[in-house]
Amino acid sequence: MYHNMYDGYGGPSSNQMEAVLRLLRQVIGRESQDEVLLDYVIGMSRDETSERLIYGMRTEERTQYDTLKQIYEQLSGRAVQIETPDFSIPDTFSDAMGYMLERKARTVQLYTYLYMYVPNQYQPVIYPFISEEHLHMHKLNYLLIRHIQN
């Protein structure tokens, strides 16, 4: 069991809150970048099934991004400032799937840390995002295997 820093009477310290806000900025930035990358990968897909699955993931990324921005604003009292997404354009569909799988693994870690340290009332919002990221990894694996076999 982990210790949630928000269980005490005094609430989080400013250092703890800044750590949560930093995690939120990281995850929001990753979701923004993933959305742009998935937009690009939709154009690389060769069939309707791939396009449909990638489009669905992109839609979920947008929802996560919007929700996380709201949480950030509620906790900090200000809008989140993130840098414009920057990434290397993958050469092939397989390269894109591999790159996305690596990114998703790290994103799951960040979401897990965020879940552990975010104020308790936000945990029920964050937990489904961890599950969605795992599902995205499964879909990316499926698409990669399918692409290699064809």
Q: Is the pLDDT assigned to residue 139 strictly greater than 60? A: yes
pLDDT of res. 150:
78
pLDDT in tens, 12-42: 677 889 999 999 999 999 999 999 999 999 9
Q: Is the pLDDT assigned to residue 124 strictly greater than 60? A: yes
pLDDT in tens, 66-116: 999 999 999 999 999 987 767 788 999 999 999 999 999 999 999 999 999
Full set of structural domains in the chain with CATH: 14-149 (1.20.1260.10)
Q: Cα dihedral angle (108, 91, 51, 62), rounded to 10 degrees?
A: 40
For the question of whether the overall pTM of this predicted structure is more than 0.85, the answer is yes
| CB neighbourhood size of 119 (10 A) | 18
Band the pLDDT of 3: cuts 50, 70, 90.
very low
All residues at 6 or more sequence positions from 80 whose CB lies less than 8 Å from its CB, including other chains: 24, 25, 28, 69, 72, 73
pLDDT of res. 46:
85
All residues at 6 or more sequence positions from 113 whose CB lies less than 8 Å from its CB, including other chains: 23
Q: Is the pLDDT assigned to residue 9 strictly greater than 50? A: no
Q: How far is CA 105 from CA 6, 79, 83, 138, 150, in A?
A: 27, 27, 21, 11, 26
Whether 97 contacts 143, CB under 8 Å: yes
